[in-house]
Structure 1
Amino acid sequence: MKIYGDKQSGNSYKLILVTSFLQIHYEWQDIDTKKGETRTDSFLQLNPNGKIPILIWNDGRVLSESNAILNFLAEGSDLIPKDAFERARVLQWQFFEQYSHEPYIAVARYIKHYLGIPEERRTEYESKQEGGHKALKVLETELEKAPFLVGNSLTTADISLFAYTHVAHEGGFDLSMYPKIQDWIRRIQSLERFKPMHSV
């Protein structure tokens, strides 16, 4: 199978992590979004939405949206709870990640870390801080109850939220304010077969 992604993207990193944890073999295809490689005709034939990551499965079928791919790859493993309610909690956190976390943490990181906060985007960058801290506080509160987001072991919920949270400082978020999040980050980084960002 092939994964099309960008090593600097948290959404792509989710798939690097899950394939490492589960020892899934794949071929990586690097896509440079800044050069417009997701807008080419050939890429748009694979994903009309023009976004990464995408997975091309062994039989040629294409799957997009990072959390959908993540859960598909983890199906049948210990990263997906067997209990239906616990599986729903995983999805709950993944919807939270896409709607209440990523739009603030990831966008602030992109504006600050990769663009250097150009003046024309300063107001947008500053507007992301409140929403980002709100999301981090939600995570901090949950991680006061258990070592992982859904119970006592790693699930795809943790992988989804870890991807951009562990680099939130690159978007101007001071993680020293969130000791439980810091513990959780270290806990995941200490797991066997953990792979750091930017490594494929």
Structure 2
Amino acid sequence: MKVYGDMVSGNCYKVALTCALLELEHEWIAMDILKGDARSEEFIAKNPNAKTPTLELTSGETLWESNAIINYLAESSDLMPTDAWTKAKVQQWQFFEQYSHEPFIAVARFINKYLGLPEDRKAEYESKQEGGHKALAIMEQQLQQTPYLVGDQLTTADISLYAYTHVAHEGGFDLSSYPAINTWMERIQQQEKYIGME
């Protein structure tokens, strides 16, 4: 199978980390979003939304949206619970990541890291800080109670939220006041097959 992605992107890194933890053989197709790689006709035929990551199976079928991809890859593995309630809790955190975490932390990081914090985006960058810290506080509260977001077992919920949390400082977020998050990140980094973001 092929994964089209940019390893500096947290959403793409989720897929790379899942593949590494599960030792899934794949071909990584590096994409440069800023150069418009995702807007080519060839790529849009694979993903009409023109975004990475995109998974292409050997059958030619494609799947997009990072959390959908990692949940598909993790099916029948220890990263994906089998009972309906725990699986729903995984999805709860993944929806939280997309709606309450990523729009603040990932966007602030993009403005700072990718764009170099241009003057005309500075107000937008600063406006993301409050929402980002609210999301981090919710994670901190949960991780004070359980080692991982959905209990005692690493799941795709953790991968989803780890991706942008561990580089949140690149978006101006100081994580020093979130001890449970820091311990959780160390726990993930100690996984045997862990790989870092490039």
Q: 1:41 offset after TM fit, Å? A: 1.1
Q: 1:33 offset after TM fit, Å? A: 0.2
* Mapped partners of 2:163, 2:79: distance in 1: 15
**Alignment partner, residue 193 of structure 1:** 193
Q: 1:42 offset after TM fit, Å? A: 1.1
Q: Which segment is superposed worse, 170-179 or 37-46?
A: 37-46
* Correspondence 1:110 to 2:97: no
* Mapped partners of 1:147, 1:161: distance in 2: 14
AA aligned to 1:40 is: S
* Mapped partners of 2:113, 2:16: distance in 1: 21
* Correspondence 1:13 to 2:13: yes
Correspondence 1:77-156 to 2 at 5 A? 77-156=77-156
3-state DSSP of counterpart to 1:159: helix
AA aligned to 1:68 is: A
Which whole-Å deviations, capped at 9, do the CAs of 1:128-187 have from their partners, x for residues lacking one? 001100100000000010000011010000000000000000000000010100000000
Q: 1:3 offset after TM fit, Å? A: 0.2
3-state DSSP of counterpart to 2:125: helix
Q: 1:117 offset after TM fit, Å? A: 1.0
Correspondence 1:44-83 to 2 at 5 A? 44-83=44-83
* Mapped partners of 1:62, 1:130: distance in 2: 36
* Mapped partners of 2:120, 2:44: distance in 1: 29
Q: Which segment is superposed worse, 67-76 or 42-51?
A: 42-51
Which whole-Å deviations, capped at 9, do the CAs of 1:113-140 have from their partners, x for residues lacking one? 2222101001110110011001000000
* Mapped partners of 1:80, 1:161: distance in 2: 15
Give the TM-score normalised by the residue count of structure 1.
0.98
CA RMSD in angstroms comes to 0.6
* Mapped partners of 2:65, 2:99: distance in 1: 13
AA aligned to 1:9 is: S
Instruction: Report how many residues are paired.
Output: 198
Q: Gapped runs of 5+ residues in structure 1?
A: none
* Mapped partners of 2:176, 2:143: distance in 1: 15
Q: 1:190 offset after TM fit, Å? A: 0.7
Q: Gapped runs of 5+ residues in structure 2?
A: none
Q: Which runs of 4+ in 1 moved over 3 A?
A: none
AA aligned to 1:108 is: A
Give the TM-score normalised by the residue count of structure 2.
0.99
**Alignment partner, residue 169 of structure 1:** 169
